[in-house]
Amino acid sequence: MKKYLKYLSLILILFILNINFCYAEDYIGTVDGTGVNIRSGPGTNYASLKTATNKLSYKLVSNTLYKSESACSNGWYQLYYEGDKTGYICSDYLIVSVASTNDGVVTKDKYDRPWTTPKEAIVGGAKFITETYIDAGQNTSYLKKFNVNPNSDYKVYNHQYMANLRAPYSEAYTSYKSYRDNNLLALPLEFTIPIFLNMPDYTTLPGTSTDTSCQSTVTDQEFEAELNAEGFPESYKCKLRLIHEKYPNWTFKALHTNLDFDKSVIAEKSVSSIQGGDIYYDLSSGDKIQTESGWYVANYETVAYYLDPRNFLKEERILMFENLGYSENYSTTVVQSILKGTFMEEYSLIDNQSYAEIFVEAGKVANISAVYLASLARQESGTGGSRATSGVEFTYQGVTYQGLYNFYNIGASSSAESPILAGLVWASGGSSSVIVGSNDSNQDSNTDANPSTSILTDNYITSTLGVNIKNGCLIGLNAGTTLNIIQNKLSGLEITISNYESFIKTNQVITISDGTVTLTYTLVVLGDVDGDGLIGATDYVKIKNYIMEKSGSELNLAQSLAADVDNNGSIGATDYVKIKNSIMEG
């Protein structure tokens, strides 16, 4: 017993001395720079063994830093390369994380990132779409563009998957052609169709005539009873009767948004883009307003047309309202018909598998329609592919990347310097530019109630301040940010911060108002776990205590988000190491 206590005491002493043998994970270093040498020893005076590949991850021998007198400010890590060979690399060019490994191969995150093959991007992207959208209440192509589901995990008008106003329109037609060509239209499909308050009699796309197709005569009393039970108004029913005549197996469910149509149009206008000519663009300022190269803010009439579900209650467009769960009916043959004539018609040579097989596998793995995934990839990547599907080398914000894929353009925020490249950085496992909105059902909903007279929305805050919003928390402002800095960026708005002294801190509450809309968030400064506005020793001690599940180490929501420094959704040793390294560099 005494011998056992002796060894236990020794282990505790080693832990206190910060000897990190107790972690089950391996340390991984990802190279951040080109021309970086792996050397035979910890110093530039040692021979170069080889040049490390930029963005490649290597398994570290340990997380020990070896100091030297040579030009490497923080010291050298020892790593494995080419199997069991070892060498040293300057820590200045290495991003260190903790990950389980198998024979030195880095374990991917839950979305399979980094996406270094087309299959990883297609399957991993499907997992992301299912978790973040489909399972969160945005389970149709229409709802992924126009988040008007009041039962969604996210506030209405936020968390748009895409800026392209026409995206559901295009995706629906691509899917329709595949369904038609493979005799799938006779299946018992189910559709969820939104209904707004105070809808006009009709909406018309500029430059076109009004679609007056309608069946006012009731021919199926049972079907009519179903439509009445769902609460469809006559302007919907007269179009659904036409469809029912041809496809009696289809089921239509109403989604009562309880949102005013006019206010919804204005809210969606601020988060939508279109290309195609001045007839569609907002020219109220005297010229069109560009959102990214070739894309512009649409005018009210154009947004109203694409937002109005009644315009698409027709055979070739209604699939934008189809529920997008996985179906065994969508075989490789069906998916292949969607990919015909595109670069995805053949094989992915890297994966040694046909693209059609990959999409079907992605559907099974992520419980999502393979037809929808293939249609989305075709919509986002085009028939000939793009930089997001080529794996070619690119440089973004001073960093060079290569061998990355993103078939759905996830993370390609329209507010980014280059949306498609920002999406590829996200695919690398880097910092996400995806704005996930707020899923706090108790959060003040003034944004939803008054979008007609205000630009003040979650999207406006995230794009202007360069931050993310999650669970009612505003995340991404740096330590040392002052109220003046925020006021300068949000000019003309009234801003107050609770218990404010000289700079912002985790757990403070910020209130932003323009007199019509008031938004309230809890501030989160990454690394500031203790809420003093600084990043210091007490912060990494709090993280270590939390990891070790010590009594009294519980963290509230804001503290938990502040502790998740690497933004992977959990608090672990990587966060502790990042804060510690940050303090050492400071």
Q: Is residue 154 a contact partner of residue 445, using CB atoms and an 8 Å limit?
A: no
Please give the residue that has the higher pLDDT: either 538 or 582.
538
Q: For 15-24, 52-61, 219-228, which range has the lowest pLDDT when averaged over its residues?
A: 15-24
pLDDT of residue 578: 79
pLDDT of 424 > 60? The answer is yes
Please give the residue that has the higher pLDDT: either 77 or 67.
77
Strand partners, 509: 522
pLDDT of residue 18: 42
pLDDT of 65 > 70? The answer is yes
For the chain, the domains span 22-106, 114-139+330-431, 162-323, 446-524, 537-585
pLDDT of residue 302: 95
Confidence of residue 536 (pLDDT cuts 50, 70, 90): confident
Mean pLDDT, the chain, integer? 81
Q: Is residue 420 a contact partner of residue 412, using CB atoms and an 8 Å limit?
A: yes
User: In angstroms, what CA-CA distances link 200 with 48, 235, 238, 265, 321?
Assistant: 72, 10, 16, 12, 21
Q: Residue-wise over 9-47: b if at least 16 C-beta within 10 A, else e? A: eeeeeeeeeeebeeeeebbbbbbeebebbbbebbbeebe
pLDDT of residue 81: 79
Strand partners, 57: 30
Please give the residue that has the higher pLDDT: either 373 or 401.
373
CA 462 to CA 451: how far, in whole Å?
17
Q: Is residue 574 a contact partner of residue 539, using CB atoms and an 8 Å limit?
A: no
pLDDT of residue 435: 27
Sign (positive or negative) of CA dihedral 159, 161, 165, 167: negative
pLDDT of 204 > 90? The answer is yes
Which of 91, 57, 89 lies closest to 74 in space, CA to CA? 91
Confidence of residue 506 (pLDDT cuts 50, 70, 90): very high
pLDDT of 11 > 50? The answer is no
pLDDT of 439 > 70? The answer is no
pLDDT digits (tens, 9 = 90+) for 522-534: 899 988 999 988 8
Name the pTM for this structure. Answer: 0.52
Sign (positive or negative) of CA dihedral 544, 549, 552, 554: positive
Please give the residue that has the higher pLDDT: either 256 or 181.
256
The average pLDDT across 490-507 equals: 82
pLDDT of residue 229: 97
Please give the residue that has the higher pLDDT: either 499 or 193.
193
Percent helix, strand, coil in the chain, to 5, is: 35, 15, 50
pLDDT digits (tens, 9 = 90+) for 143-184: 989 999 999 888 888 777 778 898 898 888 888 887 888 788
pLDDT of residue 14: 38
pLDDT of 440 > 70? The answer is no
Please give the residue that has the higher pLDDT: either 71 or 247.
247
Confidence of residue 454 (pLDDT cuts 50, 70, 90): very low
CA 47 to CA 40: how far, in whole Å?
6
pLDDT digits (tens, 9 = 90+) for 98-121: 544 444 444 567 888 889 899 999
pLDDT of 12 > 60? The answer is no
pLDDT of residue 199: 97
pLDDT digits (tens, 9 = 90+) for 340-397: 888 999 888 888 899 999 999 999 999 999 988 998 898 788 888 888 998 888 888 7
pLDDT of residue 107: 55
CA 204 to CA 312: how far, in whole Å?
12
pLDDT of 477 > 90? The answer is no
pLDDT digits (tens, 9 = 90+) for 24-42: 345 677 777 777 889 998 8
Name the most confidently modeled range: 74-83, 125-134, 410-419, 436-445: 125-134
Residue with tokens 């936020």: 158
The average pLDDT across 39-59 equals: 82
Residue with tokens 């149509």: 261
pLDDT of 437 > 60? The answer is no
CA 522 to CA 505: how far, in whole Å?
10
Sign (positive or negative) of CA dihedral 383, 388, 390, 393: positive
pLDDT of residue 403: 85
Q: Is residue 507 a contact partner of residue 539, using CB atoms and an 8 Å limit?
A: no
pLDDT of 5 > 80? The answer is no
Q: What percent of the chain has pLDDT over 90?
A: 30
Q: Give me 272's structure tokens.
A: 């939508």
pLDDT of residue 453: 33
Q: Which fold does the domain 22-106 belong to in CATH?
A: SH3 type barrels. (2.30.30)
pLDDT digits (tens, 9 = 90+) for 321-342: 999 989 888 889 989 988 988 8
Sign (positive or negative) of CA dihedral 68, 73, 78, 82: negative
Helices (H), 59-199: 118-132, 141-145, 167-181
Please give the residue that has the higher pLDDT: either 19 or 152.
152
pLDDT of residue 108: 67
pLDDT of residue 155: 84
Q: Give the 3-state secondary structure of residue 395.
A: strand
